[in-house]
Amino acid sequence: MTKRIGVFPGTFDPITKGHIDIIRRGTHFLDHLIIGISENPGKSPLFSPQQRLEMTLQEIKETLPLFNPGCKVEASLFSGLLVRFAEFRGATLILRGLRAVSDFEYEFQLVGMNTYLSSKIETVFLMSSERHHFISSRFVKEVALLGGDVSEFVSPLVFKSLKEKIPHQ
């Protein structure tokens, strides 16, 4: 039987409880899930690629009991086209989370481009759970930078890392 390999791509700056929820749910229909951490040159991340990878690996380790034990979960940095990374890793599925209709517009265009670049890779969307639908890395950083409490949106490890980057957090 062919293994079902998927990639869950993102910047993960930082990884949130919403990301972990999508990862957990994705493990229930995949044999192998690769969390692809993008080194997107178009963004100015708060954390370095290596820091984002380390936080993600720690989150996987901490939340592993929540995942389907039959699914291997790993994290890897990548740069360049997502579909090329997915093909290189043997994935046939890209896993994406949707929070709102506004996400869908962008994701719809992205799927079109990815399908044009590689017709062998399908994209599957998971709706964010109700308790996570408003969480985004961007909002977590903005609220933290303005002195708000983001401890409910990220793990204690990520919260500690944010406090180190943003002294008044």
**Token match 């979960």: residue?**
73
Active-site residue, from 38, 128, 136, 137: 137
Active-site residue, from 3, 43, 138, 160: 43
CB atoms within 10 A of CB 119: 9
Q: Is 19 a catalytic residue?
A: yes
Give φ, ψ of 84 to 5 degrees: -70, -40
Under 8 Å between Cβ of 13 and 52: yes
- Give, in degrees to the nearest 5, the angle at Cα 97 between 116 and 55: 110
- Show Cβ contacts of residue 137 under 8 Å, excluding neighbours closer than 6 positions: 10, 11, 12, 13, 14, 15, 16, 19
Active-site residue, from 72, 89, 99, 133: 99
24: its two tokens: 């957990």
User: Which residues are catalytically annotated?
Assistant: 19, 43, 99, 137
